[in-house]
Amino acid sequence: MNPTPPLSKTHSYNTYKKKHTPIITSKAKQKMSGGKKKNMVVWLYKVITITVTVASVALTLTEAQKEADFKCSSEIATCRSLTDYKSPNVTTLKEIETLFGVKHFLDLLGANNFPSNTKDNFKVEADQVVKVPFPCKCGNGTGTSNQIPRYKVKPGDTLDGIARNRFAGLVKYQQIQTANKIPDANNITAGETLWIPLPCSCDKVDGSSVIHYAHIVEADSTIQAIAQQYGTNQQTLLKINGIDDPKSLQAGQLLDVPLPVCNSSVTSDSLDFPLLVPNATYVYTANECVQCKCDSTSNNNFMLQCEPSELKPINRWSVCPTMECSKNVLIGNTTTTSTDSCNSTICDYGGYNSRNISMVNATQNTCAVAPSGSDSGATGSSLSGSVWNKLLILIHFLLFFVYLL
């Protein structure tokens, strides 16, 4: 496969025009006797150029209007989800935390694998992509963020401006309008609070629990590259996003990327069950007494790695409860390494309730290969642009045809 470089539409058209305009006009000079016919061709060329430019703008607008609608067939399910956010302006992690109503700052750090001592005034550059965790709720075949983020309308705000600028196009204004039952999209009142329904899902994928991540497609990206980067495969990505043609992928589009998660010892009676932690992220749980991270590169067979956080607990706990499997063997400590160098017993985090934290002695096989969803060999595909090029070629053919007449 020879991936076509995803040029911006107007750019590719202008390049094309520069290359081809002189050919047509010089040919016209040779073949035509009267200037009248030539003028007509030039005039037609201009008309078509304008039409193409207008069509190009219109096409960009219709593309931008496409709503991200993630499928979620599990009824009344709630789960954790992630979205990319590309701030249009320089901002801070604190502002992003506030904008999205992220409950705990550490959740924002963990989702991005930022060091846990990162300050909340950490600067985020314009156009830098930050992953934001949020709770998801499913219903009517689709998933949306569960009643957050909440945005207080400021004087001069428009619904479209809130969708397009404040939330960087993660939702369309129509979705905010529907979610908040606003009768007239042009009549919103400063001071009223709107729920911004971000797309998400809680569905299992091929029988496995995953975290659905709304990924903003970058220019130059392909389905194959995205699948590889996030440990999933192309067929899955195409299927859950309802994409038939991988070439139809657009820069800026929101793609539902199911992230594989680490296996854990957390039991179903635990308040944080199922503790789903995607690769290359960490979370704080058990009222922030325990830190758990998922790192597929650590050769531990994609098992969640938990240890005491050494933070002050949140909520009603004044101190963190004991986290020992046996005397001086804490969560995260390896207890035995048998002669078989592959197996080791670890004191693992087993969950928590309102009063205590539970531990289990877990055997980990550190030799087995971590499950990987990545595939290879399938055809790569680049962002669309080819359709546009074909259209331009067609237009030039038509022009040439007109000229022959």
Ligand X SMILES: *[C@@H]1O[C@H](CO)[C@@H](O)[C@H](O)[C@H]1NC(C)=O
Q: Where on the chain is the footprint of ligand X (CB under 6 A)?
A: 88-89, 139-140, 165-166, 184, 187, 189, 231, 260, 263, 279-280, 296-297, 301, 307-308, 325-326, 330, 332-333, 335, 338, 340, 343, 353, 355-356, 359-361, 363, 365, 371-372
Longest Cα separation, the chain: 102
Q: Pairing relation of β-strands 129-139 and 142-145? A: antiparallel
The end-to-end CA distance of the chain, in Å, is 39
d(CA 211, CA 203): 9
Smallest distance, ligand X to C-beta of residue 244, A: 26
Residues paired with residue 132 on neighbouring β-strands, in sequence order: 83
Smallest distance, ligand X to C-beta of residue 297, A: 5
Smallest distance, ligand X to C-beta of residue 379, A: 21
* Number of Cβ atoms within 10 Å of the Cβ of 267: 12
Q: Is 378 exposed, middle or buried (0-12, 13-18, 19+ CB in 10 A)?
A: middle
Q: Which residue number, 32 or 148, has a Cβ lying nearer to ligand X?
A: 148
Which residues are CB-neighbours of 227 under 8 A, at least 6 positions away? 233, 234, 236, 237, 373, 374, 375
d(CA 286, CA 349): 10
Q: Which of 181, 201, 183, 166 is nearest to 74 (CA)?
A: 201
- Do the beta carbons of residue 255 and residue 241 sit within 8 Å? yes
Q: Which residue number, 13 or 352, has a Cβ lying nearer to ligand X?
A: 352
Q: Which residue number, 6 or 308, has a Cβ lying nearer to ligand X?
A: 308
Which residues are CB-neighbours of 370 under 8 A, at least 6 positions away? 296, 299, 301, 302
Q: Which residue number, 87 or 382, has a Cβ lying nearer to ligand X?
A: 87
Can you read off the two tokens belonging to residue 304? 């969640």
Can you read off the two tokens belonging to residue 329? 């063997």
Smallest distance, ligand X to C-beta of residue 9, A: 25
Residue 258's Cβ-side half-sphere holds a number of Cα atoms within 13 Å equal to: 26
Smallest distance, ligand X to C-beta of residue 265, A: 7
At residue 120, φ and ψ (nearest 5 deg) are -75, -10
Smallest distance, ligand X to C-beta of residue 2, A: 26
Distances (CA, A) of 181 to 157, 173, 310: 18, 12, 45
Smallest distance, ligand X to C-beta of residue 383, A: 23
> Which residue bears the tokens 């590259």?
225
Can you read off the two tokens belonging to residue 388? 């546009």
Q: Which of 170, 165, 125, 121 is nearest to 148 (CA)?
A: 170
Smallest distance, ligand X to C-beta of residue 166, A: 5
Q: Which of 61, 12, 2, 3 is nearest to 388 (CA)?
A: 12
Smallest distance, ligand X to C-beta of residue 3, A: 22
Q: Which residue number, 45 or 230, has a Cβ lying nearer to ligand X?
A: 230
Smallest distance, ligand X to C-beta of residue 328, A: 8
Q: Which residue number, 107 or 157, has a Cβ lying nearer to ligand X?
A: 157
